[in-house]
Amino acid sequence: MHSFFRKSKCTACDQAHHRAIPPPRSSSCPPPLMSRLPFPPPTHDRLLGCLLGGALGDAVGLFTEFLPKSEVLRIYGPNATFTLLAPGSHPLAPKAAGFKTMHMDRHRGMFPPGSWTDDTDQSLLILLAWLRAGGKVETAAEIDALAKDFARRLKIWCREGLRALSRAPLGLGRTVKASVYATGWEDDPIGRARE
């Protein structure tokens, strides 16, 4: 089965990573997912830009998530410059000192350095459900079908995480957990979420 994310060798560190851009393929492989979408190339770019921008913002936001302003100032100072890679830890990491790496506590400690949170995971689930719907959700029936598809994906994510990225379901909150495991969630996710 071909997927948008493929495991390939990183040219910077020679480690295997899941990448959004597939490795070179033979003529017998189907075209990459993004080239099969029913959208013009500028829309592809916007979708990828939105997804990548959201993931980067989420990863940087994790530095201060759930911390009061006074604690942020105490830990990082008033003019912090953040990096998702510790200086010198990777060929692409900043070389200069002065960059703040993440303060590790119980919440931040469950996420790998430089990673995003459950917010981006769930954005990916919404995108996957929308792509499965062909990128067109206009009628009440299409909205209902999209909500049910997302509900199924979210329930699987709660159990298994994002398997294509070998990523556990980190950051699962009480509200999402209560909704997903409520009776009738997959049949009426909008109704269950409102309860």
Tens digits of per-residue pLDDT, 93-126? 666 566 777 888 999 999 887 889 999 999 999 9
pLDDT at 129 over 90: yes
Helices (H) and strands (E) in the chain, counts: 7, 4
Question: Can you tell me the mean pLDDT for 5-20?
Answer: 48
Provide φ and ψ at 109, rounded to 5°: -65, -15
Question: Nearest Cα to 171, choosing from 103, 102, 110?
Answer: 110
Collapse the DSSP code of 8 into the 3-class scheme (helix H, G, I; strand E, B; otherwise coil) and give the result. strand
The angle subtended at Cα 147 by Cα 35 and Cα 164, nearest 5°, is: 50
Higher pLDDT, 46 or 16: 46
What is the model's pLDDT at position 125? 94
- Which residue range forms the structural domain that includes residue 80? 41-115
Residue 92 forms part of a structural domain? yes
- Distance, in Å, from the CA atom of 123 to the CA atom of 59, rounded to the nearest integer, reads 13
What is the model's pLDDT at position 23? 45
As a whole number of Å, the end-to-end CA separation of the chain is 38
Question: Can you tell me the mean pLDDT for 82-87?
Answer: 73
pLDDT at 25 over 70: no
Question: Nearest Cα to 62, choosing from 31, 100, 96, 25?
Answer: 100
62 with 104, same domain: the answer is: yes
- Distance, in Å, from the CA atom of 47 to the CA atom of 195, rounded to the nearest integer, reads 32
What is the model's pLDDT at position 1? 32
Domain boundary among 85, 115, 145: 115
CB of 100 closer than 8 Å to CB of 81: yes
pLDDT at 84 over 70: yes
Domain boundary among 115, 131, 163: 115
pLDDT category at 14 given cuts 50, 70, 90 is: low
191 with 149, same domain: the answer is: yes
pLDDT category at 63 given cuts 50, 70, 90 is: very high
Domain boundary among 115, 138, 168: 115
- Distance, in Å, from the CA atom of 131 to the CA atom of 133, rounded to the nearest integer, reads 5
Q: Which residues pair with residue 17 across a beta bridge?
A: 8
**What pTM was estimated for this model as a whole?**
0.72
Provide φ and ψ at 162, rounded to 5°: -95, 95
Residue 25 forms part of a structural domain? no
pLDDT at 36 over 90: no
Percent of the chain with pLDDT over 90: 41
- Of 35-39, 85-89, 129-133, 160-164, the one with minimum mean pLDDT is 35-39
- Distance, in Å, from the CA atom of 162 to the CA atom of 153, rounded to the nearest integer, reads 10
Total domains present in the chain? 2
What is the model's pLDDT at position 22? 42
Counting Cα atoms < 13 Å in the Cβ hemisphere of 189 gives 17
What is the model's pLDDT at position 24? 47
CB of 58 closer than 8 Å to CB of 44: no
